[in-house]
Structure 1
Amino acid sequence: MKTTLKSFVTAFVMAAVLAVPAHADMSVRDGQVVESSGAPFVMRGINHAHLWAPNRTNQALKDIAATGANTVRIVLGNGVRWNRTSERSVRRLITQSKAAGLICVLEVHDTTGYGQTGEGAPKDAATIAQATDYWIGIKDALIGQEDYVILNIANEPSGNGVADSYWVDEHKAAIVRLRAAGLKNVIMVDGPNWGQDASKTMLQRAGEVFESDPLKNTMFSVHMYQVYDRPEVVRAYLDGFRSQGLALIVGEFGPDHEGEPVDEATIFDVTNAHGIGYLGWSWSGNGPKARNLDMVVKFNARHLTPWGDRLINGEGGIRATSKPAAIFRNAPEPKRGLFSRWFRVD
């Protein structure tokens, strides 16, 4: 059978196309978050509660970037428990984060503690499926932003006493739906038990959730508060994830939680030793029970709290360990007009 030049060229082009990875943007590979170049990206960042302080956000993002952070995790609402963050607002948040040089993790907070009954139970918490509905509803703001935006499906998506199958099955279904809707962003999944995974459900079954993703582009997030009050507990959990080859970050943590101690020193030690990301909670505006988790007083970047000073300036903290995403490091310098040396244009 003759092989024409045209058919040879066609076959060569098709082979080249098939050799290109399914997602060349920020992705998960071999248990790490990597940038489009394949270089690991280790998150060093701060949470910001945009949902309750939207007028503070633009300045907060600039101030967070000034700490040396490379990532910001932003609290949104889907309209079930708190006000719905509009698609227009999400577009603006992404633009502002990019302008500040920050990778943006977006999360739906309405799911916090879903399913817990009795004392401390949240009222009207959203389901993982309702959070997924929200993401699909605003997908046009996220598609095309795969290098800049990580989609954190649902904050602390179940409380204590909720069946393991809820966390596993609902996340698997959510990931399938998100991918079918055309969303290719890295997906982040929070642990159960108010994010702390005290039941070890995520530690033991995260692999099932990861395998449900046709892009294999899912990572996991544990929130380390009072459950993680001793070095051996912190080390066992983080080492357990590493041994499975799954990507993990400490998505929230602080020096204590509602008066109970947290071993933040070991969290800093282990995350830095093994290149695990961390995002401290939170910039400012916490309620009375968690006021000492504020990093700055009343959103004033010049007035650091002890926790803010530790996270930002301490050993193993943000300034000492954070590296900006390459996509910002490699961005071309903006063209400057004739009078730019005298006038600043915002």
Structure 2
Amino acid sequence: MDRISSNPFLTPALVRQGADLRAKLQATTQEMATGKQADTGATLRGDFGRLAATDHALARISGYTAATSELTLTASAMQSALAMISQAAEQLGSNLLSTASGLSAPQLAAVTSSGMRDFETVIAALNTRVSERPVFGGVNSAVAPLPDAQSILGALETAIAGVATPEDISAAVDSWFAGAGYEALYTGGAPVGGIAVAAGETASLPFTALDPAIRETLAGFAKVALLDRGLLAGDHAARAAFALGAGVDLQSSSDARAVLAGRIGTTEEQLSRAQARNSAEKSALTLARTALIEADPYEATVRLEDLESRLDAFYTITARLSRLSLTEYLR
């Protein structure tokens, strides 16, 4: 062979030069596409401390963001459930107060039947789950905090068996929900503790189905539901008087529910402020991280043009050398 490309000394040099130019061209193209330095180590001169600290801070913010998002979702579900419960309580209470004393037995039965459905709906709302956790439960997240409505009423009927007058029955129902009878059916466990939502700050939603506002409201609904299950059967006057008292209870429990909603709202405000601070800190950290490793687009463009020109010249020279014979070289 008389081709210059067969020269064992020249060919490796050309190969290395071409490979080096192509590698630099690829790296520069990558920098222009991503906006980041291709060789982070060289940019930072081997000092990854600041970059690692920034990444750690961003990871911490990400954890706070996940916590605030989950708590915000839970708080929203709590408020929605309370709003539904309050609406049902106010409507049923209003119906009982306005009509109970003047209703016939069949008409009263229709109202108490509606009250039974409301009680079942309220229990279902208290057992609502968000992100695989019961909204009004505690640390025992695998189970619903309350049994079904009929199981609760069955236990309540057993507890008040033998109580005769409407006034005594009403007092016994209130006592049962306020005390150990209702608590024995609750399986949600202790309230969930505080969760870190920002640097040095925790938030919690320690509101369960054992909250006094929930107990008081359930007692009112349960009284109407007991009438639907036959409480005071055969004594229309006593049934009407008991229904009227249940209506008063449902109306008067609105203040306790409003206080509970306000306590949840206070936590929602805290979460909103924490989210705003976390978002601002994340933006600042992201900018700082970008500044550490970003590529100068103008410098990268100039370098790319230079490399393209050099690589084009390299290919031109290589092509000419590949066509050069030994005879032509010796002329």
TM-score normalised according to structure 1 size: 0.28
TM-score normalised according to structure 2 size: 0.29
Query: Per residue, is there more strand in 1 or in 2?
Result: 1
Q: 1 or 2 for the larger relative contact order (CA 8 Å, sep ≥6)?
A: 2
Instruction: Point out the structure with max Rg over C-alpha.
Output: 2
Query: Per residue, is there more helix in 1 or in 2?
Result: 2
